[in-house]
Amino acid sequence: MTDIPRITDSHCHLDFPDFEGQLDEIVARAADAGVARMVTICTRLRNEPSVRAIAETHAPVFYAAGTHPMSAADEPMATVDQLIALAQHPKFVGIGETGLDYHYTAESKDVQKESLRIHITAARETGLPLIIHSRDADEDMAAILSEEHAKGAYSCVMHCYSSGAALAKTAVDLGFYLSMSGIATFPRSQDVRDIFAAAPVDRILVETDAPYLAPPPHRGRRNEPAYTALTAQVGADVFGMSYADFAAQTEANFDRLFTKVASFAEAA
* Segment 61-81 mean pLDDT: 98
What pTM did the predictor assign? Answer: 0.96
Does residue 28 carry a pLDDT above 90?
Answer: yes
pLDDT at 44 over 60: yes
**Average model confidence (pLDDT) across the chain:** 97
Q: What average pLDDT does range 125-141 have in this prediction?
A: 98
The 10s digit of each residue's pLDDT in 90-103 is: 999 999 999 999 99
- Contacts of residue 115, defined as CB under 8 A and 6 or more positions apart, other chains included, come to 67, 69, 72, 77, 78, 98
Percent above pLDDT 90 for the chain: 96
Domains along the chain?
7-267 (3.20.20.140)
Q: Convert the pLDDT of each residue in 173-190 to its tens digit.
A: 999 999 999 999 999 999
H/E element holding 7? strand 7-12
Q: Roughly what angle, to the nearest 10 degrees, separates helices 165-173 and 190-197?
A: 20
The answer to whether residue 2 scores a pLDDT higher than 80 is no
Instruction: Give the pLDDT of residue 3.
Output: 85
Question: Rounded CA gap, 94 and 136, in Å?
Answer: 23
For the cut 60, the answer to whether the pLDDT of residue 153 exceeds it is: yes
What pLDDT was estimated at residue 151?
A: 97
Q: What is the pLDDT of residue 227?
A: 98
**At residue 216, does pLDDT exceed 80?**
yes
pLDDT at 260 over 60: yes
User: Which residues are CB-contacts of 28 (< 8 A; sequence separation ≥ 6)?
Assistant: none
Q: Which of 207, 196, 199 is nearest to 230 (CA)?
A: 207
